[in-house]
Amino acid sequence: MRSPRAFSVAPMLERTDRHFRYLFRQISERALLYTEMVVDRAILRGDRERLLAHREEEHPLALQIAAREPEEAARAARLALPYGFDEINLNVGCPSEKSQALGIGAVLFREPERVAAIVRAIHEETGVLPTVKHRIGLDGDEGYAPLARFVERVAESGARVFVVHARKALLSLSTRKNREIPPLRHDLVHRLKADFPELTIVTNGGIQTLDEVLFHLEKVDGVMVGRAAFEDPWRFAELDARVFGQSRRPDRCQVARAMLAYLEEELNRGTPGRAVLKPLIPLFRGTRGARAWRRTLTEGPPTPKTLLAALARVECP
């Protein structure tokens, strides 16, 4: 029996919004999904309904927050409790200039005691023990020791789940380049699980296929996939069968029709149709009619009629 964390989709800004999550849930019932990163101060001072609201169908669903001050993180987590997330995850991996300026994200890798304090504060305030997502190192860090030291110190707070992006963060590079230039070192994450068998360790970074997912699951408790899931969601259509041993295998046309009903509901709620259609664009990637599907969705008005027209361009009975 594999862990419920065996497969998750990474939090991605402007990608893993509620519309993408609803689409991916039609493909997999078991994948753990994450929100986009939300800064704790936005929860404290902003439109919480817009930031945190989601459909019941999206579960299991984790809220990822970014924070620096333990007290503010704890207050934000308490305000998020009524929304019923299955997990609260702390971002210690974002290398963006904005995150650096706020002292959140990847820069906290140098402050494991502060990360531990945030974990404790959230737990004491809400009863929820947050998980931690982080890099294998920062800037000049080399080898395994910095990673093990960070995990060991944060684990003293009670944290038991560590999601590890198997690249260093280089603070002089852009966010995009930080996803490409630092080399992947999944071997360090594998070693981490061997050295800390009592912890749940999830590896993340550059994983493209279910074959790769299954390879890493021989070494760690879970695998997190990022851009591949957004850019080609149907690549993971056999996820529930191959990773979780379920007999269910989704049908691509049925998924598209489920999104038709979803689009109609969202339009009635005042949601911009373009936002709903965006994650659908790559659904038929690699199939006959895929180009016509994409063109119809992007060039036509964001309406159910357009989605029906796109469906007519692909091989759906």
Contacts of 311 (CB under 8 A, 6+ apart): 253, 256, 257, 260
157 within 8 A of 120, measured Cβ to Cβ: yes
67 within 8 A of 31, measured Cβ to Cβ: no
139 within 8 A of 168, measured Cβ to Cβ: yes
Question: What DSSP element (H or E) covers 162?
Answer: strand 161-169
Amino acid at position 313, single letter: R
Residues labelled as active-site residues = 94
In sequence order, what are the beta bridge partners of 29?
Answer: none
Cα separation, 155 vs 304, in Å, equals 49
Cα separation, 297 vs 258, in Å, equals 16
Place of tokens 């920062």: 138
Amino acid at position 77, single letter: A
Contacts of 234 (CB under 8 A, 6+ apart): 27, 252, 282, 283, 284, 285
Amino acid at position 8, single letter: S
Beta strand pairing call for 131-138 and 87-92: parallel
In sequence order, what are the beta bridge partners of 38?
Answer: 65
